[in-house]
Amino acid sequence: MGASMVSGVSGGSRDQAPEAMVRGVLKETVRGQPNKFKKLFAQVKGKVGVSEVTEYPKAFKAHVDELDAYKLCVDDLADAIIAAAQQNPYFRNEDDPQMPIMPPTNCDPHELVQESMKNEVAFGEYACREMSVAIFRKLGSIHREYLGRVRKSIHSIRTFINYDYWVIAQERKDLERCRYEMDFAKQDLKATDDPAFVQLKSKVADDAIKAFELQLQKTMTALETLPKLKADHVKEVLSLAEVQRRYHEKSSQVIKVYSEKATKKASMEKGGSKDQPEDEKH
């Protein structure tokens, strides 16, 4: 990358009046503590508009903007997926990074219906009571399996939200620190009047530039992983359609099987009733 990476700078106003004023004040207050207050002076210079700040390359800024915008989209996407799978908000915890959606034991809607039909006196005379209890018990099990598969299917999306993005964010934070240290070192070198310190401060500035360029490349490498992450997320979203299809197929199959059993049972009972002698029917 070389010096070209840090050659583009946007400097503030070079109005010497604020700088002279700041130097005059600090000269009387920081005497004997030069190293401690040089950074303070750089910060104050930045606030009065005379400090030069190195600009990031346009490609880097474009990558950063894309990442931040994508993070917002993925946050909304994950919320929508979780809300669609677990429609009861009491069983969702938006503050938990693990995104739990499994209801407590016996609290799935199918399980609640099963318990009601099993224990409520009102269903005591219901002809298909036992079969209905069995159906809802099976549907509850299938629904729990479905919720687990949904959450597992968006593993990469959850990892990006909770980990991948923040790893890159830390690299960006380290880059900001390197940029500040580089700008300060370059500025300090420019302000040095004593030839005895020029060589030393020149080396400090060179080291700071190298550290900045190294961290910039490291951060760019991290940002360039976004296309692969996006591809993984697309695969997961597409896989959700298959999870949804299997869930509905299993549920419908359970209802179909028990419905056929009920029809067969009713047919057998009806046939048995026809075979009874007339005197037994009365």
What domains are defined for the chain? 56-281 (1.20.1270.60)
Question: Could you report the per-residue pLDDT of 194-229, keeping only the tens digit for each?
Answer: 888 898 999 999 999 999 999 999 999 999 999 999
Give long-range contacts, CB 8 A cutoff, 24+ apart: 85-93: 85/146, 85/147, 85/150, 85/151, 86/147
Question: Could you report the per-residue pLDDT of 157-173, keeping only the tens digit for each?
Answer: 999 999 999 999 999 99
Query: Which residues on neighbouring strands pair with residue 52, listed in sequence order?
Result: 11
> What tokens were used for 12?
């503030």
Question: Could you report the per-residue pLDDT of 222-268, keeping only the tens digit for each?
Answer: 999 999 999 999 999 999 999 999 999 999 999 898 888 877 776 77
Coil, strand, or helix at residue 191?
coil
Q: At residue 107, does pLDDT exceed 70?
A: yes
Question: Any idea what DSSP says for residue 90?
Answer: G
Coil, strand, or helix at residue 183?
helix
Residues 6+ apart with CB under 8 A from 164: 225, 229
With b for 16 or more beta-carbon neighbours within 10 A and e for fewer, the 165-184 pattern comes to: beebeebbeebeebbbbbbb
Q: Given this model, what pLDDT does residue 14 score?
A: 40
**What Cα–Cα distance (Å) separates residue 136 from each residue in 63, 117, 118, 140?**
50, 9, 10, 6
